[in-house]
Amino acid sequence: MAGDTFETRTTLSVAPHVEVLDAFASDAELRAVLARAEPEVVDQQGWAAKADETGFSFEMPVPGDGLLEEIHRRMAAALEIAGAHPPESFRFRRYRPGEGHPPHCDHFQIGASWLVGTAMLCLTGAHAGGETEFPLASPPLSVASKPGRLLYWKNHRADGVADELALHEGREVIAGTKTTVTWFIYMAL
């Protein structure tokens, strides 16, 4: 396990708030998470998967999976997130050449809780393309996919208002594969 330390933590933007924690997860952890997403495992578990222009994705259950529970615990501790609902799942997503994710904001509500932050752990990095871009950041921000990198951004400002500057997109992968697991962080505001 990578433990509670990581190689570097860098704030890339304050409006919107975006930071990266490099070497957040070990190569062994990344391989173990990827093994849980092999097609035969997904089929055997009966997890509903989809594949389209935004890649291959499914909800990877966290409760009862010691490794995913540990990764979540480290995310919450490293990002100093208290009061968030523990995730029922991480969103697994794999982008291959020609796939990406169009510009969007992560502004969703479930009951009285809002999606206040997004923590995306990169399992594999594309050889070309696949950056996560924040075009409304000042200056515009482009974050490369890098194995073991945790990319975190806040979807709401400190005053609780949805942060439109958090608009982001997954650029099209040109070569290689970008694979991620994402914790969508919900809290009551």
Residue 136 lies in a domain: yes
Total domain count for the chain?
Answer: 1
For residue 90, give the CATH number of its domain.
2.60.120.620
Residue 81 lies in a domain: yes
Residue 2 lies in a domain: no
Q: What pLDDT digit, counting tens, does each position of 21-68 carry?
A: 999 999 999 999 999 999 899 999 999 999 999 999 999 999 999 999
DSSP string, the chain: --TT--SEEEEEEETTEEEEEET-S-HHHHHHHHHTTSHHHHHHHT--EEEETTEEEEEEE-TT-HHHHHHHHHHHHHTT--SPPPPSEEEEEEE-TT--EEEE----EETTEEEEEEEEEEEE--SEE--EEETTSSS-EEE---TT-EEEEESB-TTS-B-GGG-EEEPPEEES-EEEEEEEEEEE-
Residue 34 lies in a domain: yes
- Residue 21 belongs to domain spanning: 8-188
Q: What pLDDT digit, counting tens, does each position of 76-112 carry?
A: 999 988 878 789 999 999 999 999 999 999 989 989 9
Residue 1 lies in a domain: no
Residue 20 lies in a domain: yes
Q: pTM for the full model?
A: 0.94
